[in-house]
Amino acid sequence: MPVPEQSTGKERAAERLRKVSQNFFLHIHDPRLFPDSLSPLSTMGLGVILASLFIVQLTTGMLLMVHYTPSVDTAYFSVKEIIFYVPGGRVFRNIHRWSAHAMVFVTFLHLFRTFYKGSYYGSRRTNWVIGVVLLLVVMMMSFSGYLLPWDQLAFWAVTIGSNIAASFREFTDLLGITGHINPGGFFRKILIGGQEVSQATLTRFFTLHVMILPVTLLVLIGYHFWRIRKAGGLARPLDGDISSPDQIPAWPTAFWAEVSIFLTVVAMLLVVGMLADAPLKTIANPNFPENPAKSPWYLLGIQEIVSYSAFAGGFVIPLLFITFLIYIPWFDPDGSAHQGVWFGGKNGLKVTWLSALIGAMIPIVLIVLSIFIKSPGTQGSSLNILLTMVLNPGTLSVIGYFIWTGMVRKATSSRRLTVLALFTAFMMGWTIFMIIGIWFRGENWQLGI
Amino acid sequence: MEPEEAEPKSYSRRQFFRHLSWSVLGFAGLAAVPFVVSSLIPRKVIENKRIRIGKPGDFPINRMTYLPDSHLYILRDPSGIAAMSAICTHLGCVVEQDVSGFLCPCHGSSFSLNGVVEKGPAPRNLPWYRVSTLPDQSLVVNMNQQVSPETRLQT
Ligand code: FES
């Protein structure tokens, strides 16, 4: 019902009420919000960017799915067909690939924003945990899509990835019980559907990629949105009272803000998708590994520490980190002083800088040392396996981070500063190992420039 | 609103059915778990662990021959024939032969000529498998049986 031009105030109010009650958009948002919530610096719009990327992924994904066949004999050629014959196929595939990378990247940014701005206190705790799970699902989503083209890169990245899943075996080997129970091997078998990456693996990864993970993601995203409202709405001024009159109606102000973010994302992806081609190597050859065989960038940090010890780098350290992430709001529950404050104030900023420096220095020093100190030959004895698990740059860095965090805790006795120290050090370490993996590992995983 | 709340001592029909529904749902869910998990386990038949590799004459003497399909290196020397796995014990890449032994391209593990780890991260030595002959003289490698690197099948 169009509003007559000279409508009375009453009519306009009624019209707004109608829109508000019938509007899907307002089931996601609070009907009124603070202008601050829309200011670019408060959330940086990262959540909306992620939602936009997800919509792009769903759309391009469905378009690709029409032409793709998940069979080891034809998968590779169907991807070639998408690139060379399907009108617009090349661009759709490029967008799908780049947008997937962007999604992982922005999810990390979103995590940083939420963490450094102290947005995990009180009733936002649940959403923090959902967020961590979402991060994992996004990464799995991206990794499962990696296998589908069935090229060399895909085959060997997944061979390595699935063996990381089995690396628990090193632990059971250490106890000498692998012959009886082998949970690592069992998990790997379920994941790839056999002893080696094959048709069964492709089918399983395809099912994960187009069905199980997207549905999980959709449900979790819905819950994630709903929890924002339950926890008191978008980021808002600390002293902002929900009944304050300074608020503006969400419709249509916030709506247009979000639409413009979405359009910007799509526009950027279109440009990138037309200019940059997503890689496609030669068809998978189970006999000759890519040399070097590198996983996607966001897993290269893990691959680097896995190259020291599969069990420590692929299992213990990631598990430790995820547990720490989830545990943060319980360790540091009192946000009265830092909620919504970047880095929790001046001291926090100082600790963050220091932790970033230490987080970077420890692995760099250790890696340089490892060039000179030859790692002991692991002749298969239990002691040697144990030694490689502990005495490697990855494990030692993590031990160093915990010592540093303990020092911060002792010196400041502030829980917020403690988590700031560990989180920052961990993230810096991850970044350093990732950089080493991306730019400093060449043929035969040799260190070089 | 619920009138039952007024009389706490009685266990109302509504409560009973509520509990019943939840328990049925719970048990049904639990009962489904083993079926779902076991349906995901790949069938055993697919794994073929005994592989026929040809006749002794197919392999040049004093060389290690690589068999791509089975990921095996077959050694033939004056004292006989032996078979070694070519799959790196670290994360499963295929190792390549060079002058002094084997090298894994994925994370740089190296192994001596008889498969012993010389440099990590590979945690275990490359396994050697039992080789036997069929009546028609063709060779069979049994990947369920590991042997020491010195073991040879006399030819
Ligand atoms: S797979 Fe061989 S060193 Fe990692």
Q: What is the pLDDT of residue A55?
A: 95
Using DSSP, state whether A332 is helix, strand or coil: coil
The answer to whether A231 and A127 are in contact (CB under 8 A) is: yes
Taking only Cα atoms into account, the Rg of chain B, rounded to an integer number of angstroms, comes to: 29
Which atom of ligand 1 is least distant from the CA of A306? 4
The answer to whether A309 and A395 are in contact (CB under 8 A) is: yes
CA atoms within 13 A on the CB side of B1: 0
Distances (CA, A) of A175 to A178, A382, A385, B88: 8, 8, 11, 21
Q: Name the pairing type of β-strands B139-147 and A248-249.
A: unpaired
Scan for tokens 């993230």, then name that residue. Answer: A427
Report the nearest-CA residue for atom 1 of ligand 1.
Answer: B91
Q: How many CB atoms lie within 10 A of CB B5?
A: 8
Can you read off the two tokens belonging to residue A12?
């306009």
**pLDDT tens across A130-155, in order?**
999 999 999 999 989 988 999 988 88
pLDDT at A108 over 90: yes
**pLDDT tens across A300-357, in order?**
888 888 888 888 888 899 999 999 999 999 998 887 777 778 888 888 899 999 999 9
Ligand 1 centroid to Cα of residue A447, in Å, is 15
Element (H, E) at A398: helix A393-412
pLDDT above 70 as % of chain A: 90
Residues of chain A with CATH 1.20.810.10: 27-290
| Pocket flag, ligand 1, residue B106 (CB < 6 Å) | yes
Contact residues, chain B, for A309 at CB < 8 Å: 120-121
Q: What is the pLDDT of residue A1?
A: 46
Scan for tokens 């109302």, then name that residue. Answer: B12
Mutate to test the interface with B, among A445, A446, A447 (most CBs of B within 10 A): A445
Ligand 1 centroid to Cα of residue B74, in Å, is 21
The amino acid present at A106, given as its one-letter code, is: V
C-alpha A202 chain-centroid distance: 23
Contact residues, chain B, for A377 at CB < 8 Å: 116-120
**pLDDT tens across B25-48, in order?**
999 999 999 998 888 888 765 556
Residue-averaged pLDDT of chain A: 85
Element (H, E) at A280: none
Q: Tell whether ipTM is more than 0.85.
A: no
Nearest one of A142, A155, A129, A115 to A54, comparing CA atoms: A142
Q: What is the pLDDT of residue B8?
A: 59
pLDDT at A376 over 80: no
Please report the number of interchain residue pairs, chain A to chain B, with beta-carbon separation below 8 angstroms: 102
Q: Is A445 in Cβ contact with B107 (below 8 Å)?
A: yes
Q: What is the pLDDT of residue A283?
A: 86
| Pocket flag, ligand 1, residue B87 (CB < 6 Å) | no
Task: State which CATH number among 3.40.50.2300, 2.40.50.100, 3.30.930.10, 1.20.810.10 fits the domain covering A27-290.
Answer: 1.20.810.10
**Sign (positive or negative) of CA dihedral A425, A426, A427, A429:** positive
Q: How many CB atoms lie within 10 A of CB A355?
A: 24
Q: What is the pLDDT of residue A235?
A: 67
Contact residues, chain A, for B121 at CB < 8 Å: 306-310, 378, 388, 392
Q: Which of residues A164 and A271 earns the better pLDDT score?
A: A271
d(CA A265, CA A157): 29
CA atoms within 13 A on the CB side of A22: 7
